[in-house]
Amino acid sequence: MSAPQYSAADYLAALQSLMPRGRVWPRDGDATLTKLLAGLTPVYARQNARSNQLLVDAFPASTLELLPEWEETLGLPDPCAGLSPSVAQRRAQVVARLIAVGGQSAPYYIAYALALGYVITIKNFLPARVGMLRAGDPLRGPAWAHAWQVNAPLNTVQRMQVGTGRAGDALAVWGNAVLECALREVMPAHTVLIFSYT
């Protein structure tokens, strides 16, 4: 259910219904008292609209006006977003930071990438061990125990949706630079991250 949106006319009717009865309190449209109240009611209508917008801005996935406050709270914007990220990209970074509770599992990194707008899969590697190898398997040394591979589309396209951007934002963004930068920021320091694009 959305918040009620009241117009200046609604507020005028409400104020007139609160006035006492009698000749001194006229309610016709050309009365001086009605004109006085009609001059006040646009302020109430604007305040109502701003309050409703605050409800929208309170959630990072739909924020517009409070986006700078969300970013400042989370230490954003960071260099991963590039020089001039769109509003949708900035929101995605805010949401990703908020839901990032930490972790070192593949599902954690997949969810983190999805919050940024990227669909990925992860492949973990194991060093070669006697008894586990089969003919044709690669011979990997012990360092491969700390390597993992992120598989993503060659060019992820993120399209702007109606109501999510501002004038001047790109209608679509291609590439995986944000994905690579963001995952490198949160990957465990002892690991080697490999990106594979198909």
Q: Give 44's pLDDT tier (boundaries 50, 70, 90).
A: very high
Contact 103, 115 (CB under 8 A): no
Highest-confidence segment of 41-50, 160-169, 177-186: 41-50
Query: pLDDT tens across 135-181, in order?
Result: 777 778 888 889 999 999 887 656 566 555 556 666 665 567 888 88
Place of tokens 């001059």: 39
d(CA 144, CA 82): 31
Confidence at residue 33, expressed as pLDDT on a 0 to 100 scale: 92
Eight-state DSSP code of residue 84: S
Decide if pLDDT at 34 tops 90: yes
State pLDDT tens for residues 98-147: 888 888 899 999 999 998 888 999 999 888 887 777 877 777 888 888 99
Specify the pLDDT at position 163.
Answer: 59
* Angle at 108 (CA atoms; ends 107, 111), nearest 5 degrees: 85
**What is the three-state SS of the chain?**
CCCCCCCHHHHHHHHHHHCCCCCCCCCCCCCHHHHHHHHHHHHHHHHHHHHHHHHHHCCCCCCCCCHHHHHHHHCCCCHHHCCCCCHHHHHHHHHHHHHCCCCCCHHHHHHHHHHHCCCCEEEECCCCCCCCCCCCCCCCCHHHHHEEEEEECCCCEEECCCCCCCCCCCCEEECCHHHHHHHHHHCCCCCEEEEEEC
Integer Cα distance of 128 and 131 in angstroms: 9
pLDDT at 176: 79
Confidence of residue 47 (pLDDT cuts 50, 70, 90): very high
Express each pLDDT in 75-93 by its tens digit. 888 787 777 788 888 888 8
Residue 40, pLDDT > 60, answer yes
Nearest alpha carbon to residue 184 among 195, 193, 176: 193
Considering the chain, what is the average pLDDT of its residues?
85
Q: What is the pLDDT of residue 156?
A: 63
